[in-house]
Amino acid sequence: MKILGIETSCDETAASVVENGNLVLSSVVASSMNIHKKYGGIVPEEAAREQLRAIAPVISEALFSVELSWKDIDVIAVTVGPGLLGSLLIGVETSRTISYIMKKPIIPINHLHGHIYACWLKESIKAKIKLPELPAVVLLVSGGHTELVLMEDHGKYKFLGGTRDDAAGEAFDKSARLLGLTYPGGPEISRMAKLHSGKSTMSLPRPIINDNLYDFSFSGLKTAVLREVQRRKFLDNQFKIDLAYELQEAITDVLVIKTLKAINDFSPKSVLVVGGVSANECLRKKMEREVNERFSNIDLFIPPVKYCTDNGAYIASCAFYNQRVKPWQEISANPGLEF
Ligand code: KG4
Ligand code: ZN
């Protein structure tokens, strides 16, 4: 079964064809990030306008660059939420139109569930990848969400905890802005932190790290960064490097400790770390070290970096494992959709 996955929840316009839930035949992503960079964050109207400009060429490339035609596609999967309404509408209305004209069924996908399926993707038919066994503890860390979930089966989730205020990605983005770094802040903080010698010269809080719950809170961290910034007249490069390093250490410490707690409490077969922030090298290394050292019988999955951030492939894979088909008349965008 070949599924065309369409993702337009924020500033990426993405389309991908995935066969039988795993094999990525094509994955095309266009981003309007460069337009938003000069504003220091996403401008929703600009994002929607760029989605409209990009959607037809991106879908065409996902099909025709690998010599597929519409008759090869069995189902369309589309992100219906959460996200920016203007952006979501472009993907949703495009999918409805294709569905009506080409007589293809649609599977609506929750973007947050989609991220998880980055762990099910492979790029070559010969690649022998191990697929996650369930139940799995899932840490979803993206720009707007930080959630710990127990995935009992496909489509069956138990919510363990989430952020009470800012998401981990927001903590990176907002702190980077305070340091005068460009948007998105996560990759910038990571780049600065790599220049650090490795010994912290500053101390930032690890909010609610030992509270015995699965909740997160990152807004205090952002305030602590603001205080450090305000104490200085001039932000020299060494200060930015020190702060970026300590901030990354603080955020990743909290994410790892809470995930370890969930593993201890639920003894899953796998642990999945997904969402844009899972591209962070420090988080990947820390999580690998801690999970592998403590739990030799549990497999850790962190997708290749290109599938951590938004793409159409995980949307198509999610649809394969959750085949709840709907007629095009019943598909609509839902910006506030929850996990
Ligand atoms: O999942 P995603 O691409 O979009 C949403 O669904 O939100 O996540 C975007 C977030 C941004 O906050 C960005 O700063 C963060 O992922 N991010 C990173 C890295 N790459 C992207 N954070 C830390 N380190 C990175 N290397
Ligand atoms: Zn996302």
Structure-block tokens of residue 29? 């992503």
DSSP 4: E
Determine if ligand 1 sits within 6 Å of the CB of residue 32: no
What pLDDT score does 80 carry? 98
DSSP 195: T
Alpha helical stretches, state H, 232-328? 237-266, 281-294, 305-308, 313-321
Measure 262 CA to ligand 2 centroid, in angstroms. Answer: 22
pLDDT higher than 90, residue 180: yes
Measure 69 CA to ligand 2 centroid, in angstroms. Answer: 28
Q: pLDDT, tens digit, for every residue of 267-290?
A: 999 999 999 999 999 999 999 999
Determine if ligand 1 sits within 6 Å of the CB of residue 248: no
Q: pLDDT, tens digit, for every residue of 66-112?
A: 999 999 999 999 999 999 999 999 999 999 999 999 999 999 999 99
Could you tell me which of 148, 142, 166, 307 has the C-alpha nearest to residue 213?
148
Quick check: bond before 105 cis, omega within 30?
A: no
Confidence band of 176 (pLDDT split at 50, 70, 90): very high
Q: E strands within the chain?
A: 2-7, 12-19, 23-31, 75-81, 106-110, 136-141, 146-153, 156-162, 270-274, 299-301
For residue 38, give every residue at least 6 positions away whose Cβ sits within 8 Å of its Cβ, in sequence order, or none. none
pTM of the model: 0.96
The three-class DSSP label of residue 161 is strand
pLDDT higher than 90, residue 15: yes
Minimum-distance ligand 1 atom for the alpha carbon of 173? 14
Determine if ligand 1 sits within 6 Å of the CB of residue 114: no
What pLDDT score does 40 carry? 85
Q: Give me the amino acid identity at 83.
A: G
Q: pLDDT, tens digit, for every residue of 282-326?
A: 999 999 999 999 999 999 999 999 999 999 999 999 999 999 999
Overall average pLDDT of the 189-198 stretch = 95
Determine if ligand 1 sits within 6 Å of the CB of residue 187: yes
Q: pLDDT, tens digit, for every residue of 67-78?
A: 999 999 999 999
DSSP 126: T
